[in-house]
Amino acid sequence: MEDNLPTFNLSDVSKHKNKDSSWILIHGVVYDVTKYLNEHPGGSEILLEHAGKNATQDFESIGHSEEARSKMKEFAIGKICDADAQNSDKHERKKCHCEIM
Ligand code: HEM
């Protein structure tokens, strides 16, 4: 399903960093967590701290459950395409076609 999602770059994501619009990048997928802020078991503050950024490392350090990983699919809105994306390995970059949104 993630294959049909639009492509954003890091600068698109970085514009959505407050409670009115919070996008988070995890493993190359962009999540719009705006509606999840008040439901997140870890609290809204930590999501807002990571809004507009690549949160992959911190997301993994917390050790989120399978349930959390399944829940996050609901919020996926796109994929990242940016040479700066820390988590794009060479293979991903190669098959990634950047589009201006
Ligand atoms: C769409 C993205 C996310 C979803 C769906 C999500 C979901 C959840 C869920 C369901 C839990 C309860 C524990 C578990 O099931 O693992 C949790 C806990 C937590 N999350 Fe997230 N999370 C997301 C992103 C993040 C991010 C980016 C951070 C930043 C580091 C974060 C930090 C935490 C923390 C600190 C806890 C509390 C852990 C504890 O009390 O032991 N989460 N999250």
Q: What is the C-alpha separation between 2 and 43, in angstroms, rounded?
A: 26
CATH number for position 41: 3.10.120.10
Q: What is the mean pLDDT of residues 21-33?
A: 96
Q: What is the C-alpha separation between 56 and 36, in angstroms, rounded?
A: 17
CB distance 46 to ligand 1 below 6 Å: yes
Does the residue 101 lie in any domain? no
Q: How many other CB atoms are there within 10 angstroms of residue 28's CB atom?
A: 21
Banded model confidence at residue 29, pLDDT cuts 50, 70, 90: very high
Q: What is the mean pLDDT of residues 50-59?
A: 96
Report the domain count for the chain.
1
* pLDDT for residue 100 is more than 70: no
Name the residue at shortest CA distance from atom 40 of ligand 1: 42
36 C-alpha vs ligand 1 centroid, how far in Å?
11
Does the residue 100 lie in any domain? no
Does the residue 27 lie in any domain? yes
